[in-house]
Amino acid sequence: MKITVIGAGYVGLVTAACFADLGNQVLCAKKTSKNLDKLNKGISHIYEPGLSEILKTNIEKGRIEFTNDIKRAIDFSDIIFICVGTPQSDSGKADLSQVEDVARQIAENLDNYKLIVEKSTVPVNTHQWVKKTIKRYSKDNIEFDVSSNPEFLREGTGVYDFNNPDRIVVGVESEKASTIFKELYRSFTEKGSTLLITTPAAAELIKHASNSFLAMKISYINMIAELCEKVGIDINMIADGIGYDQRIGRDFLNSGIGYGGSCFPKDVKAFIKIAEDHGLDFGLLKETEKINADMRKRFLEKIENVLWMNKDKNITIWGLAFKKGTDDIREAPAIDIVRELNKTGANLRLYDPQARENFQKLFLENKNIKYFSDKYEALKDSDALLIITEWEEFKKIDLNKVKGLMRLPIIIDGRNIYEPEVMNGFEYYSIGREKFEKSEIMK
Ligand code: UDX
């Protein structure tokens, strides 16, 4: 099938490339010509495992092309995926101006039936506004459908998640739209994937409800981690103990410094606002946010309790991205940690396998902030190592080499990637896995 994708950010790029890889003919439009040449050579401007490979393959096969000519993109296909950004505005509400802009441009170029598909995360009933906008700005009375097909892609595994969906959710208002989606996703349903066909409003709401639940699950286990620290229980025992219950599930029960990224923080805030707009108070999600913010504060307190004074201490930080497998630093815990430690006069030595370039835009190198391209180099004469992102390479380190490089063998693990029992010879601290009392350090 021919498919138009509008937006070449994380969602648009993965969606366009993966639809092409399934044998569809895809034209992906982006606002500016920035990165256009690179994309048409199959070079992705976003680090996402496997994406560049499928981009290259499908560019060579002529199955995907990138353009900044939105009119051409709208004319190209009867199916138009809206994958533009819906960032958080100051009020916490989602800023839908890019969605409105695309809707108006579709209207102005509408001369035959189109199925317009909201893939961007939007508040419930946004499809009504998209429909109204197209009606207002289009000439004649040309038939079209507005639908919702939210994505559930995780950064770092977007290509895998697209091809292995737990479920595909589509919200439609006509039989015609439903038939198009059944054809589009036939290769998935034939493999046994579930295609959930509902209304546009329900599909829009499923996305916010899904992300907010996952964020809440993380804050729930982090709340319990605080208690575990007081009573001396390993939080992972609790996570395992409850996670075996099929109704709970072990995923997203990994305690640590908390969630970041461009989705959970934004979507939880937007969902709270959506509820407020309908006269409801989503206190549970407000508490989810509070717990998540507190985890960063607690981590800074832990550093202070362990190091006492930070001034002139060499503190190494492994992990700047908001999670492993991505170069994305949006809402990353490392931002708060670096900002606050930078105020204490510590010498920060930062390493991340992918996110350094993005992080450097926020924190320029200076006499107190140094970036390293080798994680062991970053450890030389260090007084403490902080683990902030759960990169796989950090789990396979040579602990003897680490101890030999550091001035003090102190590791404060914000992602619980090490097991306490193998950390002999280190002062090892983590989240929800030990009673922390100053006296233990002083003796
Ligand atoms: C999330 C949703 O998982 C995805 O379905 C949606 O489409 C977009 O938002 P993403 O934000 O890319 O995906 O990453 P995810 O793997 O969900 O992790 C989000 C944050 O939660 C990261 O900061 C991660 O470190 C943290 N996390 C995740 C935990 O702290 N504990 C966990 O057990 C899992």
Q: How far apart are the first and last CA of the chain?
A: 70
Q: In this structure, is residue 149 part of a structural domain?
A: yes
How many CB atoms are located within 10 Å of the residue 196 CB?
12
Q: How confident is the model at residue 23 (pLDDT cuts 50, 70, 90)?
A: very high
Domain end point (choices 164, 198, 232): 198
- Do both 284 and 364 map to the same domain? yes
The reply to whether 257 falls in a domain is yes
Q: Are residues 63 and 143 in the same domain?
A: yes
Please give the C-alpha separations between residue 372 and each of 352, 354, 364, 388, in angstroms, as whole numbers. 8, 12, 13, 15
Statement to judge: residues 310 and 176 lie in one domain: no
DSSP string, 377-419: GGGTT-SEEEE-S--HHHHT--HHHHHHH-SS-EEEETT--S-
Cα 258 to ligand 1 centre (Å) = 10
Q: Examine the domain organization and report whether 156 and 272 are in the same domain.
A: no
Q: Which two tokens stand for residue 352?
A: 């991340």
Same domain, 293 and 374: yes
Question: Are residues 187 and 250 both part of a single domain?
Answer: no
- Catalytic (active-site) positions: 263
**Looking at ligand 1, which residue's alpha carbon is closest to its atom 5?**
152
Instruction: Choose which residue among 252, 271, 336 to substitute to test ligand 1 binding: the one with the highest number of ligand atoms within 8 A of its C-beta.
Output: 252
Stated as kind and residue range, the H or E segment containing 114 is strand 114-118
Locate the ligand 1 atom nearest the alpha carbon of residue 415 and give its number: 30
Same structural domain for residues 190 and 270? no
Confidence of residue 139 (pLDDT cuts 50, 70, 90): confident
Spatial contact of 3 and 119, defined as CB atoms under 8 Å apart:
no
**Cα separation values, 26 from 16, 17, 76, Å:** 6, 8, 9
211, part of any domain: no
Q: Do the domain assignments include residue 205? A: no
Question: Pick from 198, 223, 257: which residue ends a domain?
Answer: 198
276 lies in some domain: yes
Average pLDDT of the segment spanning 255-261: 98
Q: Could you tell me the strand order of the sheet in which 114-118 lies?
A: 64-67, 25-29, 2-6, 79-82, 114-118, 144-148, 168-171, 195-198
Best substitution site from 148, 207, 263 to test ligand 1's pocket, by max atoms within 8 Å of Cβ? Answer: 263
Predicted confidence at residue 435, as pLDDT, reads: 53
- Establish whether residue 44 lines the binding site of ligand 1, counting it when its CB lies within 6 angstroms of any ligand atom: no
Pocket probe mutation, ligand 1, options 154, 254, 292, max atoms within 8 Å of Cβ: 154
Residue 140 is predicted with a pLDDT of 80
Tens-place pLDDT, residues 396-425 = 999 999 999 999 999 999 999 999 989 999
Classify residue 436: in a domain, yes or no.
yes
Q: 200-243, pLDDT tens digit by residue?
A: 999 999 999 999 999 999 999 999 999 999 999 999 999 999 99
Tokens of residue 82, six digits:
């809206």
The label of the residue with tokens 């396979």 reads: 396
Give the distance (Å) from ligand 1 centre to CA of residue 7: 22
pLDDT value of residue 233: 92
Output the pLDDT for position 386.
98
Q: Please indicate, yes or no, whether residues 260 and 398 belong to a single structural domain of this protein.
A: yes
Closest by CA to 86, choosing from 254, 248, 269, is 269
- Is residue 428 included in any domain, yes or no? yes
Mean pLDDT taken over the chain: 95
24's enclosing H/E stretch is none
Indicate whether 325 pLDDT > 50. Answer: yes
Query: Domain total for the chain?
Result: 2
Task: Give the gyration radius of the chain's Cα atoms.
Answer: 24
Distances in whole angstroms, Cα of residue 8 to Cα of each of 66, 95, 153, 234: 9, 18, 15, 43
Does ligand 1 lie within 6 Å of residue 218's CB atom?
yes
CATH number of the domain residue 387 falls in? 3.40.50.720
Instruction: Please give the model's pTM, rounded to 2 decimal places.
Output: 0.94
Ligand 1 and 335: CB distance under 6 A: no
CA–centroid distance, residue 397 to ligand 1 (Å): 24
Share above pLDDT 70 across residues of the chain, in percent, rounded to a whole number: 98
Residue 303 lies in a domain: yes
Same domain, 257 and 349: yes
Q: Are residues 6 and 63 in the same domain?
A: yes
Give the ligand 1 atom nearest the CA of 323: 25
Q: What is the pLDDT of residues 68-116, one digit of tens each?
A: 999 999 999 999 999 999 998 888 889 999 999 999 999 999 999 999 9
Average pLDDT over residues 50-67: 96
**Contacts made by residues 288-293, CB under 8 angstroms, sequence distance 24+:** 288/212, 288/215, 288/216, 288/219, 289/219, 289/265, 291/219, 291/222, 291/223, 291/258, 292/215, 292/218, 292/219, 292/222, 292/258, 292/259, 292/265, 293/258
Which 8-state DSSP code applies to residue 250? Answer: S
Say how many C-beta atoms besides its own lie within 10 A of residue 194's C-beta: 11
Please indicate, yes or no, whether residues 78 and 11 belong to a single structural domain of this protein: yes
> Which atom from ligand 1 is nearest to the alpha carbon of 332?
23
Ligand 1 neighbourhood includes 333 CB (under 6 angstroms) = no
**The domain containing residue 418 runs over which residues?**
243-442
Q: Is 295 near ligand 1, meaning CB less than 6 Å away?
A: no
- At residue 429, the pLDDT reads 96
211 CA distance to ligand 1 middle (Å)? 9
On whether the CB atoms of residues 211 and 221 are closer than 8 A, the answer is no
- Digit-coded pLDDT (tens) for 270-313: 999 999 999 999 999 999 999 999 999 999 999 999 999 999 99
Q: How far, in Å, is the centroid of ligand 1 from the Cα of 407?
A: 34
**Do residue 165 and residue 257 come from a single domain?**
no
